[in-house]
Amino acid sequence: MSTPENNIYILLLGASGSGKTSLINMLAQIMTYKSLDDAIDSKEPMIPVPNRRTEYYPDGTSEDILYRGFRGEDVANERFGNIGSSFTQSPRMYSFKNGNTIFNFIDMPGFGDTSWNSEDEINKKKRYAFLETVPQIHAIVTVVKATENMLSQTFIGSLDDVLSMVPKSAAANLIFFATFSLGSSFQGNLIAPVLQRYLADVNNKYKVQLSLKDNVFYIDNFALLYLLSYTRSEKYRKFTDAKQRADADLCWQKTKEAIKAMARKVLTLPGIPAADIAAFNFARTLIDIVTENLIKFSDEALKLSDPKFRAAQAQKMQAENPTLTTKQIDTMLTDGEKRFKQTLFSVYQKASQELLKPAGFLKHHCVAPMSNGYRVRLQNKIIQLESDADFDGAAEVQAELDAKDKHNRCFELILNNATRISTLEETCKAPEGLLKLQIIGKDVKKAFEAYQKTVKFEFKDTVPFTATYPIQNDD
């Protein structure tokens, strides 16, 4: 029997479509078969995660190739062919028993690309909620496509999202996996300079030391795709040629080497409590909720000095009490405005004080205290909508982007003020003071309760699997 110490937890993060789920299925082949030849001869690929692909043939026809995975009902967890949404719907853990070690790979829904809306938000909640069910994390694997040769906004957004989940103390636990590496000969000619530039910026901005040294593993899941189609389809076998087979063999070999190197590295890394990562979301949510309400009531305060609003109020007051003179009404409105602004100012000061706890926790414990991903996706959505003649929703998204920017400026201000490191305990206690605040307290409480309610997701049990060829061994 394995002891709990033998459990290694590896978190797979990255943009939607980068190849996280395929990596799980690829791993299962490498742990089961010695070579691609063996896997093909067995006619039984080991497919823990459901997989559906469409092959397109030179004669103009196409064919769907479906594997249902170890648990038939899991088919619903992988959404196929739906462009613009994440493939993997809910986090799942795959526990690969390798001799005395169990490598638990956590496959997360990817960071959205074109799906900028509520799905993004739900996936974020699911990711953090799942982390609360896991004791430790030994490696945070960022899966990127090796073909990514530009620091596009989308790419930066997804990397930012990853870093918003990485504790500063776990910089060494951050590992990169570059998929689709066949085209770049399993070297980082394209992706390495891009990642290097990105990390240099991050290191500079957040005062961390993230490095690519011995830290990028180049793989290609094409060996898996070849195996899946070859075993299932006569037509695929007819059309595939020796070059494709040689490519698939190379992908198998290189991916196996990379995975073994990764496994050996991960075994040397200390585990980080998964609760530390989950706490980032808690701290960020607190700041988000309070800043949103502060902005809402500051807008209310601004409205009080708007002549049109004042005129409407004056009319109402006059109707209710016709004996009031214009001057009296004016004084009452001015006094009311002053009182509201004074109270709001004191609320603002108290809230800022309380928020220093979650902000001090985020700033000093998390690589990227604020995530930029959602903002980037909003920007991309605007570009997309503007180029689409039939759809003019761009103004709406622009309004959301403006609101987000305003919100981010407040968030940044709070972070800048957080000079003291605060603990998780202090952060957990922060709501006590925040919920009691004047003016905003009631709304903050409502939003906080809603947040606590929605994070309760039901997750399926881990999918177990026993390796024939342990990945941490040399062979």
Residue number with CB closer to ligand GTP (140 or 143): 143
H or E stretch at 428: helix 424-435
Other beta carbons within 10 Å of 19: 24
Site string for Mg ion, 9-48 (x = CB under 5 A): -----------xx---------------------------
Judged by beta carbon, residue 29 or residue 101, the one nearer Mg ion is 29
When asked if residue 87 is in the footprint of ligand GTP (CB under 6 A), the reply is yes
- Which sign, positive or negative, has the C-alpha torsion 388, 389, 391, 396? positive
For ligand GTP, which residue of 217, 218, 222, 280 counts as binding (CB under 6 A)? 222
Residue 375 near which of Mg ion, ligand GTP, none (CB within 5-8 Å, type-dependent): none
Q: How far apart are CA 331 and CA 339, in angstroms?
A: 12
Q: Does 179 bind ligand GTP (CB under 6 A)?
A: yes
373 binds ligand GTP (CB under 6 A): no
In contact, 397 and 378? CB cutoff 8 Å = yes
Return the biggest CA–CA distance within the chain: 97
Report how far residue 212's alpha carbon sits from residue 199's, in angstroms, rounded to the nearest whole number. 8
- Characterize the bridge pairing of strands 463-466 and 92-98: parallel
**Closer residue to ligand GTP (CB): 106 or 170:** 106
Question: What does 373 bind: Mg ion, ligand GTP, none (CB cut-off 5 to 8 Å by kind)?
Answer: none
Residue 358 touches which member of Mg ion, ligand GTP, none, C-beta under 5-8 Å by kind: none
CA 244 to centroid of chain Cα atoms: 34
Pick the closer one to Mg ion by CB: 127 or 365.
127
Is 113 an interacting residue with respect to ligand GTP (CB under 6 A)? no
Q: In the structure, how many helices (H) and strands (E) does the chain have?
A: 15, 11
Q: Which amino acid, 277?
A: I
> Which of residues 16, 98, 115, 293 is near ligand GTP by CB under 6 A?
16
Shortest Cβ distance from residue 440 to ligand GTP (Å)?
36
Neighbours of 201 (CB within 10 A): 12
Burial class of 147 by CB neighbour count within 10 A (0 to 12, 13 to 18, 19+): middle
Q: Which pair of tokens denotes residue 236?
A: 């695929």
61-100 residues in contact with Mg ion (CB under 5 A) are 87-88
> Where along the sequence are the contacts to ligand GTP (CB under 6 A)?
14, 16-22, 53, 86-88, 109-110, 143, 179-180, 220-222, 225
Give the binding site for Mg ion (CB under 5 A).
Answer: 20-21, 87-88
